[in-house]
Amino acid sequence: MKDNIEKKIENLNLNEDPKFKKNLENLKKTRANNVTRIIALKNENRDIKLNKQIDKLTKQKLILQNKRTIKEIKEKMAVDKVAQNEFLDSKKDEIAKATEVYKTAEAKTTSEYKQKLANLDKKDKKTYFSIKKEMADALRTLKHERDAIYLESCKLNDTAMTKYLLKEVVEDAKLQGSENYYNISLEERNNCKKGKEVYNENLNKEKERYNKSLTLIKQSKIKISDDANRKISEIKISESKEIENEKALYSSNFSKLTGKEREVEKDRHEASIADIKSKFGSQIETYKSKIKDADVNVKAETILHKSNIENIDSTFRNIKENAKRNKYNAYLDEYSYIGKARNNVHSLVEKLQYKASTYQYNFVLKDFLLRNALYFIIIIFFIICIIASNGNLLSLPNINGILSQSSTKVFFSLGVAGLILIAGTDLSIGRMTGMAGSISCMLLAATSYSTNQGLLIDVTGLSWGVRIFLAIFVSIFLCVLFSAIAGFFAAKFKMHPFITTLSTQLIMFGTLMVLFSSVPAFNMDLSIKKAITGTSNINIIIFAIVAIVVMYFIWNRTKFGKYMYAVGGNPEAASVSGISVFAVTMGIFVMAGVLYGIGGFLEGARVGVANPNTGYGTELDAIAACVVGGISFSGGVGKIRGAVIGTIIFTGLTYCLTYLGFDINIQYIFKGVIIMTAVCLDSLKYLKKK
């Protein structure tokens, strides 16, 4: 690029006096020499430090001398910079005068070319780009005349010169890229148009051929069928006559014979009847086969017609795909032109255009509908609910209610999402919610509680901060403990998480009931509850956002996240690749336990009261939210945003139905239908991919 810029500057008409040119060359040489000397002195200092043969004092002396020299050179360079600025100041009047002349000429030239473009036929793009190029060249010539002095002074600063001329290079790249893209687009449009004409022509020919051929074949079939049926009737009549004659002969002979002769005659008669039926039966089958062959010809012609139509469609589809691909490649060339001009740097608008063009190129309507069919159904459902509520569902309190409920549930969805990613599940979420919520409310209550065995649990004497920390710590510890136990058996003994988590949830619930069955509920201190949740539960929403960001980072920006996808996609291949499937599985269960502990703590704080039955059925909502969000039970497929979106959808669904007064049993029906639809669509995607 630098060579191109130098050539462009050499081609400028510079009208400078010899004295100025001589001073300019001297300044350039001085600057180059100074830079070279500084580099040499710095290298010398480095060599002095590395040289063990020179004593310490000598090293210090030499380094000090070089530093002084560098300082002197930099001072001289500063003086040279001042000289350069003075020179630029002296040229201000000349540049201002040239700018004024340029603006007048630019306005006149622009007006002339705009008039040409206005009078041009809009379809004549070839002439349009030609005039655009002429206009750019004319304006550039005027600009060069104005900037001759400025560009020459820019030689003192290569960076400034490069930036100054970069706009010109980018404009050329944009114009060239746009013209190439248009030419290829026009060519491909013509190809598609011609292909469509050929397609219609071939389609009409094939339909005409098929209709004629089918008519002839059907006529032939009718004739063959009529002839065959007539022959079959004649054969059956002949067969009947011969059988009657044989029967008459048998009756006549039979009456004349006695004893064994009658048995012989009976055997002869039966054999004769069988021969007659066989002889005429083979003739009948021959004519029936002719009728079948006529039917086969009709079917064969229909199959041939469908095959020909498919070939014609396939040819036209290939033409359209080639046109689409060539247009996209032309756009990539245009994007590349601009990138090369800017040293592979693109503006935000260009990057967005690139993403939009790439998405449009890869877009397939059928796949898009398959991927998002469930979301469309749910959006329609929400629209109907909003209309049914006269728009009241969109009020701020309702939106806040949905978000605050979703904020606690999202912890459970994020936790089970990791297990579903490795083709597992978790049935213990509901009991973990009850355990963490009960422990939190008990430790943050205004009064003390006792177990069924008489053990008093009293932490009311501790400060708020200590009690909140203790509640969070104990909740997380217990959830991680039971989750790790389930994870150990799943990872070590290859037990399905369905069984291990079913076992732990029974253990948890049973333990809580043994200890606290006499306590109806644990009530959190209202002042502590308010401090944790904040106004309108805003703190819980913030905690949820932080959790989502952290989990997104873990899933997408860490080795552990990549290992999760690897183990979920193919654990055998992951193990062969050196990934510890046991460690990854245990890590996912522990991470889920942490999320369950925090989620249970926040759920207890949100409601303010909890017991061992709190959160019953939460596991189903969490699993369903992940499935609706696109986290596949097949393993290795899913995103954090899917779990979040699924949670909001399910919470919103329940909230809307409750707000509209639907019975809870009706809500179960809606949830069941959505879960079945989500899993069905996920299976379709998996089968298509397979």
Rounded distance between C-alpha atoms, residue 602 and residue 435, angstroms = 12
The total number of structural domains in the chain stands at 3
Is residue 479 a contact partner of residue 435, using CB atoms and an 8 Å limit?
Answer: yes
> Which residue is listed with tokens 């693109």?
346
- DSSP per residue, 426-445: -S-HHHHHHHHHHHHHHHTB
> What is the rounded distance in angstroms from the CA atom of residue 543 to the CA atom of residue 522?
23
Q: Given this model, what pLDDT does residue 274 score?
A: 85
510 and 631 belong to one structural domain: yes
Tell whether 323 is covered by a domain. yes
> How many whole angstroms separate alpha carbon 355 and alpha carbon 549?
24
Q: Are residues 135 and 191 in the same domain?
A: no
| Domain enclosing residue 578, as ranges | 371-689
Q: Please return the burial class of 434, using the count of CB atoms within 10 Å of its CB with bins 0-12, 13-18 and 19+.
A: buried
Indicate whether 382 and 486 sit together in one domain: yes
Same structural domain, 106 and 223: no
- How far are the Cα atoms of 333, 492, 542, 611 from residue 517, in angstroms, in the given order? 73, 34, 34, 9
pLDDT at site 90: 66
Same domain, 646 and 536: yes
Query: Is residue 438 situated within a structural domain?
Result: yes
Residue 364 placed within a domain: no
451 and 329 in one domain? no
CA-CA distance, 515 to 377, in Å (whole number)? Answer: 46
Question: What is the model's pLDDT at position 554?
Answer: 96
Distance CA 483, CA 612 (A): 17
| 110 belongs to a structural domain | yes
- Whether 359 maps to a domain, the answer reads no
Residues 6+ apart with CB under 8 A from 437: 600, 601, 603, 604, 607, 610, 614, 615
Residue 362 is assigned to a structural domain of this protein? no
Instruction: Identify whether the C-beta of residue 154 lies closer than 8 Å to the C-beta of residue 161.
Output: yes
Give the CATH number for residue 393. 1.10.3470
User: What pLDDT is attached to residue 149?
Assistant: 62
Can you give the pLDDT at residue 32?
A: 60
- Give residue 514's pLDDT: 93
Ramachandran category for residue 94: left, alpha or beta (phi over 0 → left; psi -120 to 50 → alpha):
alpha
| H helix or E strand, kind and range, residue 450 | strand 449-450
The two tokens of residue 129 are 């780009």
- For residues 179 and 70, state if they share a domain: no
- 363 assigned to some structural domain: no
The answer to whether 140 and 12 are in contact (CB under 8 A) is no
Give 10-residue mean pLDDT values along the chain (690 residues): 43 40 52 65 65 58 70 70 66 72 81 79 70 75 68 55 61 70 78 88 89 86 85 85 83 77 80 84 82 83 88 89 86 77 75 88 82 80 87 87 92 95 93 94 91 88 91 96 96 93 94 91 92 89 95 94 93 91 96 96 93 89 87 86 90 87 83 79 66
Residues found in the chain: 690
Q: Is 365 among the domain residues?
A: no
Q: Is the domain of 473 the same as that of 379?
A: yes
pLDDT of residue 323: 86
- The pairing of strands 522-523 and 456-457 is unpaired
Q: Hey, what amino acid is at 191?
A: N
Residues 6+ apart with CB under 8 A from 487: 497, 500, 585, 586, 588, 589, 590
Domain match, 657 and 626 both: yes
The answer to whether the beta carbons of residues 420 and 638 sit under 8 Å apart is yes
Residues 642 and 523 in one domain: yes
Pairing of strands 522-523, 449-450: unpaired
The answer to whether the beta carbons of residues 447 and 634 sit under 8 Å apart is: no
The reported pLDDT for the residue numbered 133 is 73
pLDDT of residue 5: 42
Three state DSSP letters for 14-30 = CCCCHHHHHHHHHHHHH
CA torsion angle 384 390 392 393 (round to 10): 0
Task: Please say which residue of 124, 139, 170 terminates a domain.
Answer: 170
Do residues 147 and 175 both lie within one domain?
A: no
From 126, 153, 170, give the residue that closes a domain. 170
Query: Of 119, 142, 170, at which residue does a domain stop?
Result: 170
Q: Are residues 398 and 308 in the same domain?
A: no
Neighbours of 590 (CB within 10 A): 17
